[in-house]
Amino acid sequence: MASIFQKTLAARKCGPAALFIAVTIGMAAPSFAESKAPVPAQTEAGKLPRIAPDASTFRLANGLDVVVIPDHRAPIVTHMMWYKIGAADDPHGKSGIAHFLEHLMFKGTKAHPAGEFSAKVSEVGGVENAFTTADATSYYQTVAKDQLGMVMGFEADRMQGLQLTDPVVLPERDVILEERRMRTDNNPGAQLSEAMDAALFQNHPYGIPIIGWAHEMAGLTREDAVGQYERYYTPNNAILVVAGDVTADEVKKLAEETYGKLPRRAEPAPRNRPKEPEPLTERNVVLRDQRVSQPSWTQVYLAPSYTSGQRGEAEALDILADVIGSGATSRLYRSLVVEQGLASSAGAYFSGDGLDYGKLGFYATPRGDVSLDKVSAAVDAVLAEVRAHGITAEELALAKKRTRAATIYSQDNQAMLARIFGSAMINGQSLEDVQDWTRRVDAVTLADVAKVAEKYLDKRRSVAGSLLPAPADGRS
């Protein structure tokens, strides 16, 4: 959740830490005009903005949780269905099955042939897509308000009416194998990231790529897909988020008429994932490839998430990452880019949206012929300074100010709101947790930041990655 706020702000600032915004999950805006964003509500204590203060939630009799986020600026709605099943839940030896099923959900049902749902959304001027994360799978559509019932009907139909046969499943398996070749196998940066995750998570399934390992993907079958579908695609394992020109009463009526008719399946087994052992060694991953023209360096530390960490830790890590590497005034950018001239870019991020773990990352691109060793040493010096002496009161205040701005900007886009609430609540956070995120960040103290810096900026918790050009003869 927090990282989505920060990415929104980073993109607004156009700084080097602008990793991605809503387009990361393919959210394109439909052709409906939107007016100026409303001023967010403020809490009585501290006058801090709350995210979507009018949002509410209810549960259908079959166990489907529904979140409604009113936004009456334009007559459009975003409908986003979240399932509590992600790549980290893939059975051992069958990596990629959650993502594979995401693809198969666009095939036909008993009531509608393949492609009809997508064609209908396009026909009414809407957009749709889906995505798989380590912890969830989500399907969304943005359409005119009067088409919400249509979307709900189709989505409810494919929740339990999907028809999967070998002639449907096997060609789609070839599609995802080609997707892997295109996005990962032919991309040195993606290959390095995959190897770093595998090194960081030595026991937890976050170390397995979401798309899967190619040799395991090639063996996925219709039976694997059907088993996954029947176990996890049920109202009592899902959260529906509707954001837009609607009221809770309107959404509840439509939800009961569509999703409410679906039977409740057996409860999925608890998510008992293996834990990471206490890390004892720093790790280093090097990838040399002839396709690389610009060397780059990154380092990732194992960290808690908003769900798994001790109270206040993730908020403090968010502040820490902001001070160290968010924008042109950050410590990394000032030191490496402005003062020493060692890098053309440098930054940091905290990703705390996971169910089990988060990641605290730092990155830099060397300038000219500067070596990665020199860049790495310069980053280490910045981190050592923060770990030894903490941050300043001024830095803390500015980071909190940027957090408030990010909260306001996040409400510019209803699809972003649906993503924020869905990604947090699917992992166990409450509606109030999301709404009061700014308040929790504002409560972070200098001592809190110093504590997490000391605890988590331990190189034994880290994996460093170097991406380098390979000599023409291919030798290391």
Residue 333 pLDDT more than 60? yes
Residues 363, 451 share a domain:
yes
The DSSP code for 346 is E
Specify the number of domains making up the chain. Answer: 2
Residues 288, 254 share a domain:
no
Predicted local distance difference test score (pLDDT) of residue 270: 92
Structure tokens at 365: 């691109």
Please state the rounded mean pLDDT for residues 232-251.
98
CA distance 161 to 60: 19
Q: Confidence band (pLDDT; 50, 70, 90) for 30?
A: very low
Q: Confidence band (pLDDT; 50, 70, 90) for 242?
A: very high
Residues 450, 387 share a domain:
yes
pLDDT digits (tens, 9 = 90+) for 279-299: 999 999 999 999 999 999 999
CA distance 257 to 260: 6
pLDDT digits (tens, 9 = 90+) for 93-123: 999 999 999 999 999 999 999 999 999 999 9
Residues 241, 292 share a domain:
no
Predicted local distance difference test score (pLDDT) of residue 474: 58
Predicted local distance difference test score (pLDDT) of residue 12: 29
Is 297 part of a structural domain of the chain? Answer: yes
CA distance 426 to 368: 44
Distances (CA, A) of 310 to 278, 305, 306: 16, 9, 8
User: Within 10 A of 439 (CB to CB), how many other CB atoms are there?
Assistant: 17
Predicted local distance difference test score (pLDDT) of residue 403: 87
Catalytic residue list contains 128: no
Residues 338, 455 share a domain:
yes
Q: Could you tell me the residue range of the domain that residue 322 belongs to? A: 283-469
Residue 465 pLDDT more than 90? yes
Q: How many CA atoms lie less than 13 Å away from 3 in the CB half-sphere?
A: 23
Is 456 part of a structural domain of the chain? Answer: yes
Residues 294, 183 share a domain:
no
* 1 or 385, higher pLDDT: 385
Residues 288, 255 share a domain:
no
Structure tokens at 361: 């990352």
Residues 202, 115 share a domain:
yes
CA distance 374 to 128: 45
Predicted local distance difference test score (pLDDT) of residue 476: 54
Residues 183, 110 share a domain:
yes
pLDDT digits (tens, 9 = 90+) for 117-154: 999 999 999 999 999 999 999 999 999 999 999 999 99
Residue 369 pLDDT more than 70? yes
Is 273 part of a structural domain of the chain? Answer: no
Is 71 part of a structural domain of the chain? Answer: yes
Residue 38 pLDDT more than 70? no
Residues with Cβ within 8 Å of residue 131, at least 6 apart in sequence: 25, 26, 102, 137, 138
Q: What is the mean pLDDT of the chain?
A: 91
Least confident of 6-10, 48-52, 80-84, 320-324: 6-10
pLDDT digits (tens, 9 = 90+) for 373-432: 999 999 999 999 999 999 999 999 999 999 888 888 888 889 999 999 999 999 999 999
- The single residue of 34, 44, 102, 155 carrying the catalytic annotation is 102
Please state the rounded mean pLDDT for residues 164-186.
97
Is 25 part of a structural domain of the chain? Answer: no
Q: Residues 194, 209: contact at Cβ < 8 Å?
A: yes
Predicted local distance difference test score (pLDDT) of residue 473: 66
What residues form DSSP beta bridges with 298? 363, 465
Residues 255, 295 share a domain:
no
Residues 168, 97 share a domain:
yes
Residue 41 pLDDT more than 80? no
Is 193 part of a structural domain of the chain? Answer: yes
What residues form DSSP beta bridges with 368? none
Please state the rounded mean pLDDT for residues 154-173.
97
Q: Which of 210, 231, 261 is the last residue of a domain?
A: 261
For the chain, what's the residue count? 476
Is 96 part of a structural domain of the chain? Answer: yes
Q: Confidence band (pLDDT; 50, 70, 90) for 49?
A: confident
Q: Which of 363, 293, 358 is nearest to 325 (CA)?
A: 363
Looking at residue 103, which CATH number applies to its domain?
A: 3.30.830.10
Residue 344 pLDDT more than 70? yes
Which bin fits 36, alpha (ψ -120 to 50), beta or left (φ > 0)? beta
Q: Which of 78, 37, 135, 94 is nearest to 351 (CA)?
A: 135
Is 289 part of a structural domain of the chain? Answer: yes
Q: Confidence band (pLDDT; 50, 70, 90) for 35?
A: very low
Residue 324 pLDDT more than 70? yes
Residues 295, 254 share a domain:
no
